[in-house]
């Protein structure tokens, strides 16, 4: 049973380019979460999606960042016109239940992240 799959593992982009990060949740999981990890800031919530719906994007920067989770295929986190400050590890997590379901939907299963470096 494959876990949460993220690719690529490492991504290098020049300033101004676009970065696309992909996440395939665990089988049977329809809730996806994106987090960003910076050394001095720790993990920060970015966005929560269900299939074809963005449920909570309160942690996502208003500009240049977008996320989707289509009916078919992986969830995509897209960063346009990357800047050096976007360099970080981006983690995707999935769960079988969401926050609006009975119970908490524990646990969140994390992928191994995509490490984005902007040069």
Partner 1 sequence: QKEVEQDPGPLSVPEGAIVSLNCTYSNSAFQYFMWYRQYSRKGPELLMYTYSSGNKEDGRFTAQVDKSSKYISLFIRDSQPSDSATYLCATPANAGNNRKLIWGLGTSLAVNP
Task: Return residues touching partner 1 (CB under 8 A).
Answer: 4, 31, 33, 35, 40-45, 48, 55-56, 58-59, 91, 93, 95, 98-99, 104-108, 110-113
Q: 74 or 111: whose CB is closer to partner 1? A: 111
* 2 or 14: CB nearest partner 1: 2
| Nearest CA among 33, 27, 6 for reference residue 98 | 33
- In the complex with partner 1, the residue whose CB is nearer, 14 or 100, is 100
Report the C-alpha gap between 100 and 104 in whole angstroms: 8
Q: Please report how close the Cβ of residue 16 comes to partner 1 at its closest, in angstroms.
A: 27
Cα separations (Å) of 103 from 32, 82, 108? 17, 38, 13
CA distance linking residue 92 with residue 5, whole number of Å? 8
Q: Which is nearer to partner 1, 14 or 41 (CB)?
A: 41
Smallest gap from Cβ 19 to partner 1, in A, equals 19
Minimum separation from the CB atom of position 90 to partner 1 (A): 11
- Give the residue among 91, 43, 50 at the shortest CA–CA distance from 68: 50
Taking the complex as a whole, the smallest distance from the CB of residue 97 to partner 1 amounts, in Å, to: 9
Over its C-alpha atoms, the chain yields an Rg (Å, rounded) of 14
């Amino acid at each position: 049973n494959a876990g949460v799959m993220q690719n690529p593992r490492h991504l290098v982009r020049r300033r101004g380019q676009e970065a696309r990060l992909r996440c395939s949740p665990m089988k049977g999981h329809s809730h996806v979460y994106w987090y960003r990890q910076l050394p001095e800031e720790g993990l920060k919530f970015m966005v929560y999606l269900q299939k074809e719906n963005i449920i909570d994007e309160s942690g996502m920067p208003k500009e240049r960042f977008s996320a989707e989770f289509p009916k078919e295929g992986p969830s995509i986190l897209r960063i346009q016109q990357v800047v050096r400050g976007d360099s970080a590890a981006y983690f995707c997590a999935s769960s079988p239940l969401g926050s609006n379901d009975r119970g908490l939907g524990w646990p969140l299963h994390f992928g191994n992240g995509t490490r984005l470096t902007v040069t």
